[in-house]
Amino acid sequence: MKKLSLYVFLVLMFSLFTSYSFAGKKHKIYKKLPCSFNGVKVGPSATPYKDKKIRRHRCSPKSSGYVGKKGTSIEASSNKYNPKSSGIPVVAITNMTLYSAKNWGVEYGCASGSRLGGGKGQWGNVNILNPQTGKKERCSNPFDGVSLWFTDDKYGNTIRYYHLKSTTLVPGFNKGKCKKPKFGNFEEMQSKNFFDTSQPENCGGIKFYKVKKGEVIGKMGYAGNSHFSLGIGSRNSSSNENNEIKDTDDCKGIYKSAHCYNVGPMYLIAPEDRFKWENLPTDSDAYLFPVMSKKYLKEIGYYD
């Protein structure tokens, strides 16, 4: 009986010290990112290399994605263009430090000649004459392309957000002389210096580098549909086509640093299945949901 009482006491104490609440909501840690949360859904997975396991797209099984996709899509509930859904606040998933920011956004993003197969009718939301090719093409209007690369302050992982509409870290993007060019081709947009408007130093500079878990860092954009993409990788390692995991102590638990998978920034893994996630910001090892509820945003003062 004494052992049972002690067990109950320990369980209660554990619950007390591991249970958090924010605005009346209980803290919870998930082994995988839920397929829907806070008004968004998880779309096609990051597919950095040919791997049948990764191409299953747990949350979006009918999606095909494309090999080389460096981030998992986090989508608005509707795929149709909606300025409101393309402005959903996006938050930092952990404490991290910015090391690169670019803006590859254009008014009309056309996939002509790219891996996305532009001109075949499956991409974009408008048909328009592309002056770069002289052909009528299917294009995405708008095509939001703000991209941010961070280093995870705790584990050193590379964390990349892209297809953002805007970012608080470089408020000058898409304004004044840094307004989006009218047309762009996907392959050209990946060129580092394709647009003067893509460089933060030409757009008022980077406002700050350090962000805290749960802090708003930008807004969801539109590129084919309303979404942004999130990828996580190890900054100093190489590709791992066999999906092998390192046999070291820090790689044996449920939570694994990205270096455990031997993947570098060009091989960002599908983060929704490889890390623990939490619904409220704490000092745990779990990453935070990248989109939070309106109630949470009001509590932190984002909405006046």
19-44, pLDDT tens digit by residue? 445 555 799 999 999 999 999 999 88
Instruction: Evaluate whether residue 120 is within a structural domain.
Output: no
CATH number of the structural domain spanning residue 263: 2.70.70.10
Q: What is the pLDDT of residue 191?
A: 47
What pLDDT is recorded for position 24?
59
Question: CA separation (Å) from 136 to 12, 139, 176, 216?
Answer: 66, 9, 29, 38
In a domain, 10, yes or no: no
Higher pLDDT, 146 or 240: 146
pLDDT of 130 higher than 50: yes
Distance CA(161)–CA(225), nearest Å, equals 16
* Side chain identity, residue 207: K
Would residue 154 count as lying in a domain? yes
As a whole-number percent, the residues of the chain with pLDDT over 90 amount to 40
Average pLDDT over all residues of the chain? 77
- Output the pLDDT for position 12: 43
Question: Which domain does 273 fall in, by range?
Answer: 29-107+142-299
Number of domains in the chain: 1
What 3 state SS string does 98-158 have? Answer: EEEEEECCECEEECCCCCCCCCCCCCCCEEEEECCCCEEEEEECCECCEEEEEEECCCCEE
Mean pLDDT value of segment 162-171: 96
Sheet holding 135-140, edge to edge: 126-130, 135-140, 108-110, 183-185
How many whole angstroms separate alpha carbon 145 and alpha carbon 229? Answer: 10
State the pLDDT at residue 83.
58
- Residue 136, classed as helix, strand or coil, is strand
Residue with tokens 């392959």: 187
In a domain, 148, yes or no: yes
pLDDT attached to residue 8: 41
Q: Are 279 and 19 in contact (CB under 8 A)?
A: no
In a domain, residue 119? The reply is no
pLDDT at 248: 65
Most confident of the ranges 154-158, 169-173, 257-261, 264-268? 169-173
Q: State the chain's maximal CA–CA distance in angstroms.
A: 84
pTM summary value: 0.79
DSSP assigned state of 178? G
Instruction: Please say whether the beta carbons of 298 and 103 come within 8 A.
Output: no
For residue 264, is pLDDT > 70? no
Q: Comparing C-alpha atoms, which of 238, 297, 256, 268 is closest to residue 71? A: 268
> Residue 85 has what pLDDT?
61
59 located within any domain: yes
Rg (CA), the chain: 20
Dist. CA 147–CA 90, nearest whole Å: 13
Structure tokens at 216: 């708003």
The answer to whether position 277 is within a domain reads yes
Q: What is the mean pLDDT of residues 68-88?
A: 75
- What's the distance, Cα to Cα, between the start and end of the chain in Å? 54
d(CA 276, CA 29): 7
Residue 271 lies in a domain: yes
**Inter-CA distances, 270 with 114, 195, 229, 260, Å:** 22, 29, 10, 14
